Amino acid sequence: MLPKSISIAIVDDHTLFRSGLASLLDEFDEIKVIFEGMNGQDLQHKIVNHPEVQLILMDINMPVMDGFEATKWVKENHPNVNVLALSMLEDEKAIIGMLRAGASGYMLKEATPNELLTAIKTVIDKGFFVNDLVSGRLFVALKNGDSQPVYSTRELVFLQHCSTENTYKEIADLMNVSPRTVDNYRESLFAKLNIKSRTGLVVYAIKNNLITI
C-alpha cells in the first residue's frame, strides 16, 4: 500500500530543470520533495541528514560524480532508497548501465509530470518500473546479475533461420517482414555479440543453445 506522501530527492546538475521539476512535483499531494542535489557528491552530503527519503530521481551526465556512480553508492549505502533514472539519454548503454548500477526504472526527461508521478508511485509500490525503454525481460535479467545479452523473440526467430541455407531475402519473406527489418535484426545481433558474420552468429547460437538444429 502506498504511503500518504512519497519523500523524494532530485539530483541533476541543471539548476533550472531541477528547480522546475521540484515545483511541478510539489503540486502533487502524493509527492514531497525533500532536497535537491547538483551531483552524486552533493547527494552524499545531503542524504545523511534526510533518512526519510524514499526515492531519488537521478540524472546521468553530471560533473564530479555521475548518475552511474551515484546510484551504485546509494544502493551500497542506502539499500532501501529507490533510484529512478531521469535522463535525456535514450541509448541502450545508458539504460543498461543505470539498471546494473541499481536503478529501479528509467524515464526520459521529456516525460509529462503525470507520467513521472505514475513511475514514482509504481517504483514505491512494486520496487520497479517497466516501460517501453525497460522491457520486463531486460529488467529481470539485469537484476538477476545475468550478464548474457537479452534477445527479442524476433531476433531468436531470425537466428534460427540463419542456421538454414535461406538467403536474407528469403528469411524476410518467411518472417513476413521487410529485408530492411531483417538487416536490423542482423546488425543488432552483431552489435550485442561483437560478431561480424552470419556463420559467427550461428556458431554462437548453437554453443549457447539459442537455436535447435
Q: Are residues 100 and 176 in the same domain?
A: no
In degrees rounded to 5, what are phi and psi of residue 212?
-110, 140
At residue 57, φ and ψ (nearest 5 deg) are: -85, 115
For 84-138, write each residue's pLDDT tens digit.
999 998 877 788 788 888 888 899 999 999 999 999 999 998 888 877 776 654 5
- 85, 131 in Cβ contact below 8 A? no
* Same domain as 118, residue 189: no
Contact 133, 108 (CB under 8 A): yes
Q: If you average pLDDT over every residue of the chain, what do you get?
A: 88
CATH assignment of the domain containing 75: 3.40.50.2300
What percentage of the chain carries pLDDT values higher than 90? 61
Domain count for the chain: 2
Neighbouring C-beta atoms of residue 91, cutoff 10 Å: 9
Q: Which of 135, 163, 184 is the last residue of a domain?
A: 135
Cell of 125: 509500490
Q: How does strand 82-87 pair with strand 6-11?
A: unpaired
What range does the domain containing 35 cover?
6-135
Helix (H, G, I), strand (E, B) or coil at 194: coil
Give me 116's grid cell.
513521472
Cα separation, 36 vs 39, in Å, equals: 9
Are residues 81 and 36 part of one domain?
Answer: yes
Tell me: pLDDT of 143 over 70.
no
CATH number for the domain harbouring residue 165: 1.10.10.10
Residue 132, helix vs strand vs coil: coil
Does 202 fall in a domain?
Answer: yes
Taking alpha carbons only, the member of 17, 1, 18 closest to residue 9 is: 18
pTM to 2 decimal places = 0.65
pLDDT one-digit tens code per residue, 6-57: 999 999 999 999 999 999 999 999 999 999 999 999 999 999 999 999 999 9
First to last CA, the chain: 49
Joined together, the cell numbers standing for residue 30 give 502524493
Judgement on whether residues 130 and 46 belong to the same structural domain of the protein: yes
Which parts of the chain are beta strand (E)?
Answer: 6-11, 31-37, 55-58, 82-87, 105-108
